Amino acid sequence: MTCLSCQLPAPARIALAVQRPLLRRGLLAWLGERYPRAEVEVVGEITQLVPTLQQRRPLLLLTEPWVLNRVPIPAALLPRVLLLGPGTQVGSPPRTERVPVCAQIGEGLDESALGVALEQAIGCERPHATHCASDACELRTRLQPAALGLSARELEVFQRLGAGEAPREIAAALGLSVKTVEHYRAQIKDKLALRDSRELLEFAVLWLRGLASRPSQLRGQ
């Protein structure tokens, strides 16, 4: 992996506002091992997030979705943002109430995806975080979810299953018969080598939330 701190003017300053202790400690150790010259500012209390951004002016904020929904960050203080935790697939535009973000990294992705996200987000030449929601964002291009081998229509049905829609709802939304939707479900299950409808639904939910990128992760393979 490319050395992040070698690519950027030292120091590369990162704010880490993750409230789950185990996740925070793991990320801190991971960052220290791979990017020893980066300055990581740990925000232990979310009430200290805005003062930290104001005082330290980091290039990047690593945080969880609920933190951004609880803490209003003035636009003038907003760095580039990577969200950590369950969300949409990383290739899909993230959705938060107040803040544009570069990407949301689901817990099912491996370390290499986080490394790519860090390098791309911190090394981005766009001047302001408001550009992170753009369709031209290179990070989303590089971190597209793994191809599932589904047709466009099958993928649409698969995503709707993951969002909790029943076959009748999918049929109404797509202008199809319920029988056709069931046919697509069967095709998707066969293409992904899933054992039954329960496993199909489970994988669809995990995939859509960014917690699994391949069916084998259901079985710990």
CATH of the domain at 167: 1.10.10.10
Do 130 and 172 lie in a common domain? no
On whether both 100 and 123 belong to a single domain, the answer is yes
Residue 74 lies in a domain: yes
pLDDT for the residue 166: 94
66 occurs within a structural domain? yes
Q: Answer whether 102's CB lies under 8 Å from 124's CB.
A: yes
In a domain, 200, yes or no: yes
What CATH number is given to the structural domain containing 59? 3.40.50.2300
User: Are residues 8 and 117 both part of a single domain?
Assistant: yes
Residue 87 lies in a domain: yes
DSSP state of 164: T
Give yes or no: residues 210 and 168 share one domain.
yes
Same domain flag for 156 and 79: no
Q: How far apart are CA 219 and CA 37, in angstroms?
A: 38
Q: Are residues 111 and 192 in the same domain?
A: no
Question: Do 156 and 135 reside in the same domain of the chain?
Answer: no
Q: Could you tell me if 115 and 166 lie in one domain?
A: no
Q: Is 154 helix (H, G, I), strand (E, B) or coil?
A: helix
pLDDT value at position 217?
75
Domain with 212, as residue range(s), is: 152-219
Is 45 within a domain? Answer: yes
Final residue belonging to a domain, choices 142, 164, 187? 142
Last residue of a domain, one of 142, 163, 198: 142
Pair (80, 177) in one structural domain: no
Judge if 125 and 168 occupy the same domain: no
What is the pLDDT at residue 8?
45
The domain total for the chain is 2
Q: Domain ends where: 117, 142, 167?
A: 142
Q: What pLDDT score was predicted for residue 91? A: 44
pTM: predicted TM-score of the whole model, two decimal places:
0.63
Task: Evaluate whether residue 11 is within a structural domain.
Answer: yes
End-to-end CA distance of the chain: 24
Question: Does 30 reside within a domain?
Answer: yes
What the block records as the tokens of 96 is 């938060």
Q: Is there a domain that residue 147 lies in?
A: no
Angle subtended at Cα 171 by Cα 200 and Cα 140, rounded to the nearest 5 degrees: 60
Encode the chain (221 residues) as per-residue pLDDT tens digits: 344 444 444 568 999 999 889 889 988 998 888 888 889 999 989 999 999 999 999 988 999 888 888 898 888 888 888 888 765 554 444 444 456 777 777 665 567 777 777 877 777 776 566 666 555 666 665 655 667 889 989 999 998 998 899 999 999 999 999 999 999 999 999 999 999 999 999 999 888 776 777 787 776 55
Q: Are residues 47 and 87 in the same domain?
A: yes
Q: Nearest-CA neighbor of 142 among 90, 211, 64?
A: 90
**Are 97 and 169 contained in the same domain?**
no
